[in-house]
Amino acid sequence: MAPANIVGTWQDAQGTEYKVSIDGPGSWTVATCRPDGRRRVTKGLLQVWQGAIYWGTSYYLDIMDGNYGYGDSGYGDGKTKWLTWQPLKRGKPAYRWQQVPTRGKPETRFTVKPPARESKTESPVSSWGFRSESSQWDGSEGSQSPTTPQAAPPTPPTPPAAEMIMRITGKWKDDSGSRYEVVPDSGSNSCTVVTTRPNGRVLTTAGLIKYNNDKGCIYWGTKFRLELKDSQTCVWIPFGRGKSFCWQADSPRPIVTHSQALPTARSTVEASAQLQNLLGISKTSRNSSGSQKKIFNRPLVR
């Protein structure tokens, strides 16, 4: 189930207000009021598909910041909530919503509990879960209380490793013309990378991208670490000397919702590309003279 705290009243830069109420698991109704007074109610306009929240067939929820339940992670100012909607088609602008505070009536606020050890007094919600301080809704027409049976309970946020892996999952490209498909490995904090070079050569390397629990970041082999700029861009920073390289998204990058399970790894991976160990990610081929040479699945850095 996707995060429930998109429920509320929002406003864009043009002054249009959007009141979002929950229909049921993975579905929200949006009541729109434009500055000239025109109103429209669209049931089920927001939907969850493959773990992401979509606005019809035109936009997806890319950024959710402010008091969103990430504590001191740096999202927003901790008071104001923002939503950013990205277009699915190139050429269209993104747009942002700012939350309009509910005056005189309590709103649902969520705070994060730190990961807790097993305890007899632990909340029924997971130790990673949200704790609702108030669940009263304004009761206006077309809305449902988050505490009604139709409403979904708050959903625990994704653990850091899973969230980072899910954010890097997908298709990317670099300035040299190489393309990369990142697929999570089943049951581990690593990803298989399928690299397609400009000349058409395809390299598949299992476990090449790996999340380091101690450092709290993602590594490309033993040479680079990941720095996410935004949902469309990431940079691989070298350890020591060397040049960094940048990836641009080659597919839509929707926000990852808290209930989305990690995708399963590919059922078959080229045997020649399997890791011998994490410190020697390579595969071998023969050159024209018949001798073996190593081909490392690493980015082409100009």
Q: Are 97 and 207 in a shared domain?
A: no
Place of tokens 């999340």: 211
Question: Parallel, antiparallel, or unpaired for β 27-33 and 39-49?
Answer: antiparallel
Q: Are 83 and 170 in a shared domain?
A: no
For the full predicted model, state whether its pTM sits above 0.85. Answer: no
User: Is residue 300 domain-resident?
Assistant: no
Q: Give the Cβ contact number of residue 237 at 10 Å.
A: 15
Count of the separate structural domains present in the chain = 2
Q: Are 114 and 188 in a shared domain?
A: no
Q: Do residues 155 and 2 make contact, with C-beta atoms less than 8 angstroms apart?
A: yes
pLDDT per residue as tens, the chain (302 positions) = 344 478 889 999 888 999 999 888 778 899 999 989 899 999 888 887 756 788 887 888 876 655 433 333 333 344 557 888 888 777 788 888 888 876 554 443 333 333 444 433 333 232 223 233 333 333 333 333 333 334 444 444 445 566 677 778 888 999 889 999 988 887 678 889 999 999 999 999 888 988 887 777 888 888 888 887 777 788 898 888 888 889 988 876 555 444 343 333 333 233 333 333 333 434 444 444 444 444 345 555 44
Question: Residue 79: which domain range?
Answer: 8-132
